[in-house]
Chain A
Amino acid sequence: MTDFTPNEMMTIAAARELSNDDVCFVGIGAPSAACNVARLTHAPEITLIYESGTVGTKPDVLPLSIGDGELCDTALFTVSVPEMFRYWLQGGRITTGFLGGAQIDKFANLNTTVVGPYDHPKVRLPGGGGAPEIASNCGRIFITMTLTKRGFVEKLPFVTSMGHGEGGNHRERLGLTTKGPTRVITDLCILEPDPETKELTVVSIHPGVSRDRIAENCGWPIKFAESVIETPAPTETELSVLRDINTRTRKAHEGAGTGKEAA
Protein backbone atom coordinates (compact mmCIF):
# COMPACT_ATOMS: atom_id res chain seq x y z
CA MET A 1 0.00 0.00 0.00
CA THR A 2 1.19 3.51 -0.82
CA ASP A 3 2.03 5.76 2.11
CA PHE A 4 -0.35 8.63 2.76
CA THR A 5 -0.99 11.10 5.56
CA PRO A 6 -4.26 11.31 7.54
CA ASN A 7 -4.85 14.70 5.95
CA GLU A 8 -4.47 13.28 2.45
CA MET A 9 -6.88 10.49 3.34
CA MET A 10 -9.38 13.11 4.55
CA THR A 11 -9.21 15.18 1.37
CA ILE A 12 -9.48 12.14 -0.88
CA ALA A 13 -12.35 10.60 1.10
CA ALA A 14 -14.14 13.95 0.89
CA ALA A 15 -13.51 14.18 -2.85
CA ARG A 16 -15.09 10.76 -3.39
CA GLU A 17 -18.40 12.04 -2.03
CA LEU A 18 -18.84 14.27 -5.08
CA SER A 19 -20.05 13.36 -8.56
CA ASN A 20 -20.47 14.91 -12.02
CA ASP A 21 -24.07 15.83 -11.15
CA ASP A 22 -23.15 18.03 -8.21
CA VAL A 23 -23.52 21.79 -8.27
CA CYS A 24 -21.30 22.51 -5.33
CA PHE A 25 -20.89 25.64 -3.21
CA VAL A 26 -17.26 25.43 -2.11
CA GLY A 27 -15.86 26.67 1.21
CA ILE A 28 -12.22 27.71 1.33
CA GLY A 29 -9.44 25.47 2.68
CA ALA A 30 -10.02 21.72 3.05
CA PRO A 31 -13.36 21.74 1.15
CA SER A 32 -11.76 23.55 -1.79
CA ALA A 33 -8.99 20.96 -2.02
CA ALA A 34 -11.50 18.07 -1.93
CA CYS A 35 -13.77 19.61 -4.57
CA ASN A 36 -10.90 20.19 -6.97
CA VAL A 37 -9.47 16.70 -6.46
CA ALA A 38 -12.93 15.38 -7.37
CA ARG A 39 -12.97 17.55 -10.50
CA LEU A 40 -9.50 16.37 -11.52
CA THR A 41 -10.24 12.66 -10.96
CA HIS A 42 -13.69 11.05 -11.17
CA ALA A 43 -15.97 14.10 -11.52
CA PRO A 44 -14.67 16.27 -14.40
CA GLU A 45 -18.16 17.69 -15.09
CA ILE A 46 -18.84 18.88 -11.53
CA THR A 47 -19.92 22.52 -11.23
CA LEU A 48 -17.91 24.36 -8.59
CA ILE A 49 -19.21 27.67 -7.27
CA TYR A 50 -17.39 30.01 -4.90
CA GLU A 51 -19.25 32.69 -2.98
CA SER A 52 -17.26 35.46 -4.70
CA GLY A 53 -19.62 34.90 -7.65
CA THR A 54 -17.57 32.54 -9.83
CA VAL A 55 -19.70 29.78 -11.37
CA GLY A 56 -18.30 26.65 -13.05
CA THR A 57 -14.73 27.46 -12.10
CA LYS A 58 -11.78 25.14 -12.88
CA PRO A 59 -8.76 26.47 -10.99
CA ASP A 60 -5.34 25.04 -11.83
CA VAL A 61 -4.03 25.98 -8.37
CA LEU A 62 -6.08 26.08 -5.18
CA PRO A 63 -7.17 29.60 -4.29
CA LEU A 64 -5.91 31.09 -1.03
CA SER A 65 -9.06 33.20 -0.78
CA ILE A 66 -12.57 32.66 -2.14
CA GLY A 67 -11.93 35.44 -4.62
CA ASP A 68 -8.51 34.73 -6.17
CA GLY A 69 -8.23 35.81 -9.81
CA GLU A 70 -7.68 32.18 -10.81
CA LEU A 71 -11.33 31.44 -9.95
CA CYS A 72 -12.69 34.20 -12.19
CA ASP A 73 -10.24 33.49 -15.04
CA THR A 74 -11.34 29.85 -15.25
CA ALA A 75 -15.09 30.31 -14.52
CA LEU A 76 -17.90 29.84 -17.03
CA PHE A 77 -19.25 33.16 -15.77
CA THR A 78 -19.03 35.48 -12.77
CA VAL A 79 -21.97 37.19 -11.06
CA SER A 80 -22.21 39.87 -8.37
CA VAL A 81 -22.27 38.80 -4.74
CA PRO A 82 -25.96 39.78 -4.18
CA GLU A 83 -26.93 37.74 -7.24
CA MET A 84 -24.89 34.78 -5.97
CA PHE A 85 -26.65 34.70 -2.62
CA ARG A 86 -30.14 35.60 -3.87
CA TYR A 87 -30.68 33.81 -7.17
CA TRP A 88 -28.25 30.92 -7.00
CA LEU A 89 -28.05 30.00 -3.30
CA GLN A 90 -31.43 31.15 -1.92
CA GLY A 91 -33.01 30.28 -5.28
CA GLY A 92 -32.28 26.63 -4.53
CA ARG A 93 -29.93 25.96 -7.46
CA ILE A 94 -27.12 24.41 -5.38
CA THR A 95 -27.22 20.67 -4.71
CA THR A 96 -24.31 20.45 -2.29
CA GLY A 97 -22.59 22.82 0.11
CA PHE A 98 -19.11 21.89 1.30
CA LEU A 99 -18.12 23.47 4.61
CA GLY A 100 -15.32 23.41 7.15
CA GLY A 101 -15.46 24.85 10.64
CA ALA A 102 -13.53 25.51 13.82
CA GLN A 103 -15.93 23.52 16.02
CA ILE A 104 -18.73 21.03 15.47
CA ASP A 105 -21.13 19.31 17.86
CA LYS A 106 -22.75 15.87 17.72
CA PHE A 107 -25.66 17.21 15.62
CA ALA A 108 -23.29 18.77 13.07
CA ASN A 109 -23.97 22.36 14.07
CA LEU A 110 -20.89 24.51 13.36
CA ASN A 111 -19.14 27.34 15.18
CA THR A 112 -16.77 29.75 13.45
CA THR A 113 -17.75 32.83 15.46
CA VAL A 114 -16.41 32.93 19.05
CA VAL A 115 -14.98 30.81 21.82
CA GLY A 116 -16.31 32.08 25.14
CA PRO A 117 -19.18 34.55 25.61
CA TYR A 118 -20.08 36.57 22.48
CA ASP A 119 -19.64 39.97 24.16
CA HIS A 120 -16.34 39.10 25.85
CA PRO A 121 -14.89 36.31 23.73
CA LYS A 122 -11.81 34.39 24.73
CA VAL A 123 -11.11 33.89 21.04
CA ARG A 124 -12.74 35.95 18.33
CA LEU A 125 -12.96 33.76 15.19
CA PRO A 126 -13.68 35.18 11.70
CA GLY A 127 -17.46 34.64 11.80
CA GLY A 128 -20.01 32.97 9.60
CA GLY A 129 -19.51 34.50 6.16
CA GLY A 130 -21.76 32.57 3.83
CA ALA A 131 -22.21 29.55 6.11
CA PRO A 132 -25.56 30.27 7.81
CA GLU A 133 -27.42 30.39 4.48
CA ILE A 134 -25.26 27.77 2.75
CA ALA A 135 -26.25 25.38 5.57
CA SER A 136 -29.96 26.03 5.09
CA ASN A 137 -30.30 26.56 1.33
CA CYS A 138 -28.12 23.85 -0.27
CA GLY A 139 -29.77 20.48 -0.95
CA ARG A 140 -27.34 18.76 1.40
CA ILE A 141 -24.15 19.62 3.26
CA PHE A 142 -20.81 17.86 3.49
CA ILE A 143 -18.42 18.92 6.22
CA THR A 144 -14.71 18.19 6.36
CA MET A 145 -12.64 18.77 9.52
CA THR A 146 -9.82 17.03 11.34
CA LEU A 147 -11.06 15.02 14.34
CA THR A 148 -9.76 16.63 17.53
CA LYS A 149 -11.11 17.12 21.04
CA ARG A 150 -10.93 20.90 20.58
CA GLY A 151 -12.91 20.75 17.36
CA PHE A 152 -15.51 18.07 18.13
CA VAL A 153 -17.20 19.36 21.27
CA GLU A 154 -20.16 18.32 23.40
CA LYS A 155 -21.65 21.82 23.40
CA LEU A 156 -20.87 24.72 21.06
CA PRO A 157 -20.34 28.15 22.63
CA PHE A 158 -22.08 29.63 19.56
CA VAL A 159 -24.09 28.15 16.69
CA THR A 160 -22.86 29.92 13.56
CA SER A 161 -24.71 27.62 11.18
CA MET A 162 -27.33 25.03 11.89
CA GLY A 163 -26.80 21.37 11.19
CA HIS A 164 -29.45 19.23 12.83
CA GLY A 165 -30.00 21.66 15.73
CA GLU A 166 -31.08 19.71 18.78
CA GLY A 167 -31.37 16.53 16.70
CA GLY A 168 -34.40 14.52 15.60
CA ASN A 169 -36.71 16.48 13.32
CA HIS A 170 -35.49 19.92 14.45
CA ARG A 171 -34.82 21.06 10.86
CA GLU A 172 -38.34 20.17 9.77
CA ARG A 173 -39.80 21.95 12.78
CA LEU A 174 -38.05 25.13 11.63
CA GLY A 175 -39.56 24.74 8.17
CA LEU A 176 -36.38 23.60 6.43
CA THR A 177 -36.86 21.28 3.46
CA THR A 178 -33.16 20.72 2.74
CA LYS A 179 -31.29 17.71 4.17
CA GLY A 180 -28.58 19.52 6.13
CA PRO A 181 -25.30 17.75 6.90
CA THR A 182 -25.32 14.21 5.50
CA ARG A 183 -21.62 13.32 5.81
CA VAL A 184 -18.74 14.55 7.96
CA ILE A 185 -15.36 13.53 6.60
CA THR A 186 -12.45 13.63 9.07
CA ASP A 187 -8.81 12.54 8.94
CA LEU A 188 -9.63 9.35 10.91
CA CYS A 189 -13.14 8.35 9.85
CA ILE A 190 -16.40 9.30 8.16
CA LEU A 191 -19.51 10.14 10.16
CA GLU A 192 -23.18 10.21 9.23
CA PRO A 193 -26.17 11.43 11.20
CA ASP A 194 -28.24 8.61 12.65
CA PRO A 195 -31.46 8.41 10.60
CA GLU A 196 -33.65 9.00 13.68
CA THR A 197 -31.69 10.93 16.32
CA LYS A 198 -29.42 12.72 13.80
CA GLU A 199 -26.46 12.17 16.14
CA LEU A 200 -23.21 11.85 14.19
CA THR A 201 -22.16 8.20 14.04
CA VAL A 202 -19.02 6.59 12.65
CA VAL A 203 -19.81 4.66 9.45
CA SER A 204 -16.37 4.23 7.89
CA ILE A 205 -12.90 4.04 9.45
CA HIS A 206 -9.77 4.98 7.53
CA PRO A 207 -7.10 2.27 7.06
CA GLY A 208 -4.88 1.72 10.10
CA VAL A 209 -7.07 3.75 12.50
CA SER A 210 -8.41 2.13 15.69
CA ARG A 211 -11.78 2.75 17.32
CA ASP A 212 -9.96 3.88 20.48
CA ARG A 213 -8.08 6.55 18.60
CA ILE A 214 -11.35 7.91 17.20
CA ALA A 215 -12.98 7.90 20.64
CA GLU A 216 -9.96 9.65 22.20
CA ASN A 217 -10.07 12.45 19.64
CA CYS A 218 -13.75 13.23 20.01
CA GLY A 219 -15.15 15.55 22.69
CA TRP A 220 -18.31 13.49 23.23
CA PRO A 221 -18.80 9.72 23.69
CA ILE A 222 -18.84 8.90 20.00
CA LYS A 223 -21.11 6.17 18.63
CA PHE A 224 -20.30 3.61 15.94
CA ALA A 225 -22.87 2.38 13.45
CA GLU A 226 -23.86 -1.31 13.52
CA SER A 227 -21.93 -2.01 10.36
CA VAL A 228 -18.76 0.00 9.98
CA ILE A 229 -16.66 -0.36 6.84
CA GLU A 230 -13.01 0.41 6.18
CA THR A 231 -12.49 3.44 3.94
CA PRO A 232 -10.65 2.29 0.80
CA ALA A 233 -7.07 3.59 0.85
CA PRO A 234 -6.19 6.38 -1.59
CA THR A 235 -5.27 5.16 -5.06
CA GLU A 236 -2.05 6.16 -6.82
CA THR A 237 -4.06 8.45 -9.10
CA GLU A 238 -5.90 10.17 -6.26
CA LEU A 239 -2.66 10.76 -4.37
CA SER A 240 -0.73 12.06 -7.34
CA VAL A 241 -3.55 14.47 -8.32
CA LEU A 242 -3.75 15.80 -4.77
CA ARG A 243 0.03 16.13 -4.38
CA ASP A 244 0.39 17.81 -7.77
CA ILE A 245 -2.25 20.42 -7.04
CA ASN A 246 -0.76 21.07 -3.60
CA THR A 247 2.70 21.54 -5.12
CA ARG A 248 1.37 23.91 -7.80
CA THR A 249 -0.54 25.82 -5.13
CA ARG A 250 2.44 26.23 -2.79
CA LYS A 251 4.60 27.44 -5.63
CA ALA A 252 1.99 29.91 -6.83
CA HIS A 253 1.27 31.39 -3.39
CA GLU A 254 4.89 31.74 -2.39
CA GLY A 255 6.02 32.93 -5.79
CA ALA A 256 4.21 36.26 -5.73
CA GLY A 257 7.02 38.01 -3.89
CA THR A 258 8.43 38.30 -0.41
CA GLY A 259 5.96 40.97 0.67
CA LYS A 260 8.88 43.28 1.48
CA GLU A 261 7.79 45.59 -1.33
CA ALA A 262 4.42 46.01 0.32
CA ALA A 263 2.95 49.48 0.35
Chain B
Amino acid sequence: MARIQPLAEAVADNVRDGDTVAMEGFTHLIPYAAGHEVIRQGRKDLFLIRMTPDILYDQLIGVGAARAMKFSWGGNPGVGSLHRFRDAVENQWPRPLEVEEHSHAAMANAYEAGAANLPFAMLRGYIGADLPKVNPNIKSVTCPFTGETLAAVPAIRPDVTIIHAQRADRKGNVLIEGIVGVQKEAVLAAKRSIVTVEEIVEELAPPSPNSVVLPSWVVTAIAHVPGGAFPSYAHGYYPRNNAFYIRWDEIARDRESFTAWIRENVLDAKPEDFARHAAKHSAKAA
Protein backbone atom coordinates (compact mmCIF):
# COMPACT_ATOMS: atom_id res chain seq x y z
CA MET B 1 0.00 0.00 0.00
CA ALA B 2 1.19 3.49 -0.79
CA ARG B 3 2.48 5.53 2.12
CA ILE B 4 1.34 9.13 2.24
CA GLN B 5 4.32 11.08 3.57
CA PRO B 6 6.19 14.38 3.23
CA LEU B 7 8.16 14.67 -0.03
CA ALA B 8 11.55 14.85 1.71
CA GLU B 9 10.84 11.53 3.47
CA ALA B 10 9.52 9.88 0.30
CA VAL B 11 12.69 10.82 -1.60
CA ALA B 12 15.01 9.86 1.29
CA ASP B 13 13.31 6.44 1.58
CA ASN B 14 13.21 5.62 -2.13
CA VAL B 15 15.98 7.33 -4.11
CA ARG B 16 19.55 6.12 -3.53
CA ASP B 17 22.89 7.12 -5.00
CA GLY B 18 23.53 5.19 -8.20
CA ASP B 19 19.85 4.35 -8.78
CA THR B 20 18.22 4.13 -12.18
CA VAL B 21 15.57 6.82 -11.94
CA ALA B 22 12.74 7.64 -14.35
CA MET B 23 10.90 10.94 -13.87
CA GLU B 24 8.15 10.92 -16.45
CA GLY B 25 5.45 13.24 -17.73
CA PHE B 26 5.22 14.02 -21.46
CA THR B 27 5.35 17.84 -21.28
CA HIS B 28 2.41 17.58 -18.85
CA LEU B 29 2.67 16.69 -15.11
CA ILE B 30 6.47 16.79 -14.93
CA PRO B 31 7.54 16.11 -11.33
CA TYR B 32 9.63 19.27 -10.78
CA ALA B 33 9.16 19.51 -7.00
CA ALA B 34 10.29 15.90 -6.54
CA GLY B 35 13.26 16.41 -8.88
CA HIS B 36 14.29 19.47 -6.86
CA GLU B 37 14.09 17.40 -3.67
CA VAL B 38 16.45 14.84 -5.25
CA ILE B 39 18.89 17.70 -5.96
CA ARG B 40 18.54 19.09 -2.42
CA GLN B 41 19.30 15.70 -0.90
CA GLY B 42 22.49 15.56 -2.95
CA ARG B 43 21.76 12.25 -4.69
CA LYS B 44 24.53 11.37 -7.13
CA ASP B 45 25.64 8.94 -9.85
CA LEU B 46 22.03 8.56 -11.00
CA PHE B 47 21.19 6.81 -14.26
CA LEU B 48 18.40 9.07 -15.47
CA ILE B 49 15.69 7.88 -17.84
CA ARG B 50 13.17 10.12 -19.53
CA MET B 51 11.71 10.38 -23.06
CA THR B 52 11.93 14.18 -23.18
CA PRO B 53 14.60 15.35 -20.70
CA ASP B 54 13.20 18.90 -20.61
CA ILE B 55 14.30 21.56 -18.09
CA LEU B 56 14.10 19.20 -15.10
CA TYR B 57 16.89 16.94 -16.36
CA ASP B 58 18.87 19.99 -17.49
CA GLN B 59 18.84 20.94 -13.80
CA LEU B 60 19.81 17.47 -12.53
CA ILE B 61 22.61 17.22 -15.13
CA GLY B 62 23.79 20.76 -14.42
CA VAL B 63 24.26 20.06 -10.69
CA GLY B 64 26.19 16.87 -11.50
CA ALA B 65 23.64 14.41 -10.10
CA ALA B 66 23.71 12.13 -13.15
CA ARG B 67 26.31 9.73 -14.51
CA ALA B 68 24.18 8.73 -17.50
CA MET B 69 20.96 9.51 -19.31
CA LYS B 70 18.69 7.37 -21.46
CA PHE B 71 16.38 9.53 -23.57
CA SER B 72 14.80 10.18 -26.95
CA TRP B 73 14.52 13.98 -27.30
CA GLY B 74 16.71 16.34 -25.28
CA GLY B 75 15.60 19.88 -25.97
CA ASN B 76 13.62 22.75 -24.49
CA PRO B 77 10.38 22.24 -26.46
CA GLY B 78 9.70 25.07 -28.89
CA VAL B 79 12.63 27.08 -27.49
CA GLY B 80 15.88 25.33 -28.38
CA SER B 81 18.75 23.57 -26.67
CA LEU B 82 19.10 22.30 -23.14
CA HIS B 83 22.32 24.17 -22.38
CA ARG B 84 23.35 22.17 -19.30
CA PHE B 85 22.85 18.90 -21.21
CA ARG B 86 24.90 20.27 -24.09
CA ASP B 87 27.65 21.50 -21.76
CA ALA B 88 27.85 18.02 -20.20
CA VAL B 89 28.03 16.23 -23.57
CA GLU B 90 30.21 18.76 -25.40
CA ASN B 91 32.52 19.87 -22.55
CA GLN B 92 32.01 17.25 -19.79
CA TRP B 93 30.84 19.96 -17.34
CA PRO B 94 30.34 19.49 -14.45
CA ARG B 95 31.11 15.82 -15.17
CA PRO B 96 30.97 13.50 -18.19
CA LEU B 97 27.52 12.21 -19.07
CA GLU B 98 27.09 8.81 -20.65
CA VAL B 99 24.28 8.88 -23.19
CA GLU B 100 21.93 6.08 -24.31
CA GLU B 101 19.79 7.51 -27.06
CA HIS B 102 16.62 6.07 -28.59
CA SER B 103 13.60 7.20 -30.58
CA HIS B 104 10.29 8.03 -28.86
CA ALA B 105 8.68 4.90 -30.29
CA ALA B 106 11.45 2.71 -28.85
CA MET B 107 11.30 4.37 -25.40
CA ALA B 108 7.50 4.07 -25.26
CA ASN B 109 7.70 0.40 -26.26
CA ALA B 110 10.50 -0.21 -23.74
CA TYR B 111 8.43 1.22 -20.87
CA GLU B 112 5.49 -0.91 -21.95
CA ALA B 113 7.72 -4.01 -22.03
CA GLY B 114 8.90 -3.15 -18.51
CA ALA B 115 5.31 -2.84 -17.28
CA ALA B 116 4.48 -6.14 -19.00
CA ASN B 117 7.41 -7.89 -17.28
CA LEU B 118 9.03 -8.73 -20.63
CA PRO B 119 12.82 -8.59 -21.17
CA PHE B 120 12.69 -6.51 -24.33
CA ALA B 121 10.45 -4.54 -26.66
CA MET B 122 10.21 -4.84 -30.41
CA LEU B 123 9.04 -2.38 -32.97
CA ARG B 124 9.18 -1.64 -36.67
CA GLY B 125 11.68 1.12 -36.08
CA TYR B 126 15.01 2.80 -36.82
CA ILE B 127 14.82 1.80 -40.50
CA GLY B 128 17.61 3.57 -42.38
CA ALA B 129 18.53 5.62 -39.29
CA ASP B 130 22.01 5.95 -37.74
CA LEU B 131 21.13 5.48 -34.05
CA PRO B 132 21.60 1.67 -34.16
CA LYS B 133 25.21 2.31 -35.27
CA VAL B 134 26.00 4.28 -32.10
CA ASN B 135 23.74 2.61 -29.52
CA PRO B 136 24.62 -1.06 -28.83
CA ASN B 137 21.28 -1.41 -27.01
CA ILE B 138 19.44 -1.25 -30.32
CA LYS B 139 19.45 -4.72 -31.82
CA SER B 140 17.12 -6.71 -34.03
CA VAL B 141 14.96 -9.84 -33.85
CA THR B 142 13.46 -11.97 -36.59
CA CYS B 143 9.76 -12.69 -36.48
CA PRO B 144 9.40 -16.49 -36.12
CA PHE B 145 6.22 -16.43 -38.23
CA THR B 146 6.96 -14.07 -41.12
CA GLY B 147 10.73 -13.71 -41.08
CA GLU B 148 10.49 -9.92 -40.83
CA THR B 149 13.40 -8.20 -39.11
CA LEU B 150 12.26 -5.89 -36.31
CA ALA B 151 14.14 -3.56 -33.97
CA ALA B 152 14.59 -4.71 -30.38
CA VAL B 153 15.48 -2.66 -27.30
CA PRO B 154 15.80 -3.73 -23.66
CA ALA B 155 12.79 -3.22 -21.39
CA ILE B 156 13.04 -0.22 -19.05
CA ARG B 157 13.03 -1.35 -15.40
CA PRO B 158 13.81 1.67 -13.18
CA ASP B 159 14.78 1.28 -9.54
CA VAL B 160 12.40 4.13 -8.92
CA THR B 161 9.89 6.04 -11.02
CA ILE B 162 8.76 9.51 -9.97
CA ILE B 163 5.63 11.15 -11.40
CA HIS B 164 3.20 13.96 -10.60
CA ALA B 165 -0.58 13.42 -10.76
CA GLN B 166 -3.76 15.37 -10.20
CA ARG B 167 -4.97 13.63 -7.09
CA ALA B 168 -4.90 10.70 -4.73
CA ASP B 169 -7.39 9.48 -2.15
CA ARG B 170 -6.50 8.79 1.48
CA LYS B 171 -5.91 5.11 0.67
CA GLY B 172 -3.28 6.13 -1.87
CA ASN B 173 -5.09 5.43 -5.15
CA VAL B 174 -3.93 7.88 -7.84
CA LEU B 175 -5.81 9.51 -10.74
CA ILE B 176 -4.05 10.86 -13.87
CA GLU B 177 -5.92 12.89 -16.49
CA GLY B 178 -5.15 14.75 -19.72
CA ILE B 179 -1.96 13.95 -21.61
CA VAL B 180 -1.13 10.77 -19.70
CA GLY B 181 2.17 10.08 -21.48
CA VAL B 182 3.99 6.96 -20.25
CA GLN B 183 3.43 7.50 -16.53
CA LYS B 184 1.33 4.38 -15.95
CA GLU B 185 3.85 2.19 -17.75
CA ALA B 186 6.79 3.88 -15.99
CA VAL B 187 5.29 3.23 -12.54
CA LEU B 188 4.35 -0.37 -13.32
CA ALA B 189 7.84 -1.02 -14.75
CA ALA B 190 9.63 0.23 -11.62
CA LYS B 191 10.63 -1.46 -8.37
CA ARG B 192 9.54 1.59 -6.34
CA SER B 193 7.53 4.70 -7.16
CA ILE B 194 6.88 8.16 -5.78
CA VAL B 195 3.81 10.14 -6.85
CA THR B 196 3.41 13.80 -5.95
CA VAL B 197 -0.17 15.08 -6.24
CA GLU B 198 -2.04 18.37 -6.44
CA GLU B 199 -4.69 17.21 -3.98
CA ILE B 200 -5.47 14.46 -1.53
CA VAL B 201 -9.22 13.80 -1.43
CA GLU B 202 -11.54 11.56 0.61
CA GLU B 203 -12.94 9.75 -2.45
CA LEU B 204 -11.02 9.44 -5.73
CA ALA B 205 -14.28 9.37 -7.76
CA PRO B 206 -12.70 8.64 -11.17
CA PRO B 207 -14.72 10.52 -13.83
CA SER B 208 -14.99 7.46 -16.11
CA PRO B 209 -14.78 3.68 -15.62
CA ASN B 210 -11.85 3.89 -18.05
CA SER B 211 -9.95 6.60 -16.18
CA VAL B 212 -6.22 6.15 -15.72
CA VAL B 213 -5.92 5.02 -12.09
CA LEU B 214 -2.85 3.66 -10.33
CA PRO B 215 -4.13 1.66 -7.37
CA SER B 216 -2.50 2.15 -3.99
CA TRP B 217 -0.91 -1.30 -4.12
CA VAL B 218 1.35 -0.44 -7.08
CA VAL B 219 2.57 2.87 -5.63
CA THR B 220 5.27 3.11 -2.93
CA ALA B 221 4.93 6.70 -1.71
CA ILE B 222 2.61 9.64 -2.20
CA ALA B 223 3.43 13.24 -1.29
CA HIS B 224 1.01 16.14 -1.36
CA VAL B 225 2.79 18.92 -3.30
CA PRO B 226 0.37 21.43 -4.87
CA GLY B 227 1.96 23.22 -7.81
CA GLY B 228 4.63 20.47 -7.95
CA ALA B 229 4.59 20.26 -11.74
CA PHE B 230 5.46 23.95 -12.31
CA PRO B 231 6.62 25.21 -14.85
CA SER B 232 4.95 22.31 -16.66
CA TYR B 233 1.28 21.98 -15.87
CA ALA B 234 -1.49 20.02 -14.23
CA HIS B 235 -4.54 19.66 -16.45
CA GLY B 236 -7.52 21.11 -14.59
CA TYR B 237 -5.31 22.97 -12.09
CA TYR B 238 -2.86 25.38 -13.75
CA PRO B 239 -1.47 25.92 -17.27
CA ARG B 240 2.05 25.38 -18.61
CA ASN B 241 4.19 28.43 -17.94
CA ASN B 242 5.57 28.87 -21.45
CA ALA B 243 7.17 32.17 -20.46
CA PHE B 244 9.36 30.34 -17.95
CA TYR B 245 10.39 27.76 -20.55
CA ILE B 246 11.46 30.66 -22.78
CA ARG B 247 13.29 32.36 -19.90
CA TRP B 248 15.13 29.15 -18.94
CA ASP B 249 17.14 29.49 -22.14
CA GLU B 250 18.90 32.55 -20.66
CA ILE B 251 19.27 31.15 -17.15
CA ALA B 252 20.84 27.88 -18.28
CA ARG B 253 23.05 29.27 -21.05
CA ASP B 254 25.64 30.37 -18.54
CA ARG B 255 27.16 28.22 -15.77
CA GLU B 256 27.16 31.04 -13.19
CA SER B 257 23.56 32.14 -13.73
CA PHE B 258 22.46 28.50 -13.68
CA THR B 259 24.27 27.82 -10.41
CA ALA B 260 22.85 30.97 -8.83
CA TRP B 261 19.35 30.01 -9.94
CA ILE B 262 19.72 26.51 -8.45
CA ARG B 263 20.96 27.94 -5.16
CA GLU B 264 18.11 30.38 -4.84
CA ASN B 265 15.26 28.26 -6.23
CA VAL B 266 16.24 24.71 -5.30
CA LEU B 267 18.89 24.46 -2.56
CA ASP B 268 17.45 27.32 -0.47
CA ALA B 269 13.83 26.43 -1.26
CA LYS B 270 11.36 23.79 -0.08
CA PRO B 271 8.53 21.74 -1.62
CA GLU B 272 5.87 24.04 -0.11
CA ASP B 273 7.20 26.89 -2.28
CA PHE B 274 5.53 25.27 -5.30
CA ALA B 275 2.07 25.85 -3.81
CA ARG B 276 2.02 29.49 -4.93
CA HIS B 277 1.98 28.42 -8.59
CA ALA B 278 -1.19 26.43 -8.07
CA ALA B 279 -2.74 28.97 -5.71
CA LYS B 280 -2.09 31.93 -7.99
CA HIS B 281 -3.95 30.29 -10.79
CA SER B 282 -6.96 29.17 -8.75
CA ALA B 283 -7.21 32.73 -7.35
CA LYS B 284 -7.20 34.07 -10.91
CA ALA B 285 -9.82 31.54 -11.99
CA ALA B 286 -12.10 32.37 -9.02
Interface residues of A (CB under 8 A from B): 28-29, 51-54, 63-69, 71-72, 78, 80-82, 84-86, 89-90, 109, 113, 118-119, 121-133, 136-137, 158-162, 165, 170-171, 174-176, 252-259, 261-263
Contact = CB atoms under 8 A, between A and B. Distances in A.
B211 interface: no
Contact of A257 (B105, B109, B244, B265): B244
B121 to A, nearest CB: 9
The winner among A85, A132, A255 for most chain B CB atoms within 10 A is A132
A176 B77 CA distance: 30
Contact of A262 (B184, B230, B239): B230
B36 A263 contact: yes
B243 interface: yes
Contact of A263 (B28, B52, B265): B265
Contacts of A64: 77-79, 240, 242, 245-246
Contacts of B108: 81-82, 84-86
Chain A to chain B: the 4 pairs with minimum beta-carbon distance, closest first? A67-B27, A162-B128, A126-B75, A65-B77
Interface in B66-84: 71-75, 77-79, 81-82
Given A80-B180, A90-B124, A128-B73, A67 B104 contact: no
23 contacts: A53-B179, A69-B179, A69-B239, A80-B184, A82-B185, A90-B123, A90-B125, A113-B131, A123-B90, A124-B81, A124-B86, A128-B101, A132-B127, A132-B131, A133-B125, A136-B125, A158-B130, A176-B127, A258-B243, A259-B231, A259-B247, A261-B280, A263-B269
A52 B243 contact: no
Nearest to A68: B240
Interface stretch (B5-13, B14-22, B40-48, B271-279): B271-279
A82 B129 contact: no
Nearest to B29: A67
A52 B51 CA distance: 11
Interface in B99-114: 101, 103-105, 108-109, 111-112
B134 interface: yes
Interface residues of B, number: 72
A52 B181 CA distance: 7
A262 B81 CA distance: 20
Given A128-B103, A129-B72, A262 B235 contact: no
A174 B212 CA distance: 39
Interface in B208-251: 212, 227, 230-231, 233, 235, 239-248
B267 interface: no
Contacts of B165: none
Contacts of B126: 132-133
A256 B77 contact: no
Of B126, B178, B185, most A-chain CB atoms within 10 Å: B178
Given A52-B181, A174-B127, A263 B277 contact: yes
A159 B128 contact: yes
B85 interface: yes
Contacts of A161: 128-129
Contacts of A118: 130, 134
Nearest to B247: A259
B86, B212, B240 pick with most chain A CB within 10 angstroms: B240
B32 interface: yes
A132 B129 CA distance: 7
A52 B125 contact: no
Contacts of A158: 130
Contacts of B125: 90, 132-133, 136
A137 B124 contact: yes
Given A132-B105, A252-B242, A126 B26 contact: no
B241 A82 contact: no
A166 B28 CA distance: 39
Contacts of B104: 51, 81, 85, 128-130, 133
Interface string B242-270: 11111110000000000000000100010
Given A78-B179, A82-B109, A124-B86, A28 B26 contact: no
Given A78-B180, A159-B130, A256-B240, A69 B77 contact: no
Contacts of A171: 128
B247 A122 contact: no
Contacts of A159: 128-130
Q: Count chain A CB atoms within 10 A of each CB in B27, B86, B244 and give the residue with the most.
A: B27
Contacts of B73: 126-130
Nearest to B230: A263
B109 A85 contact: yes
Interface in B169-190: 178-182, 184-185
Nearest to B88: A124
Contacts of B71: 127
B204 interface: no
A35 to B, nearest CB: 15
A143 to B, nearest CB: 15
B128 A174 contact: yes
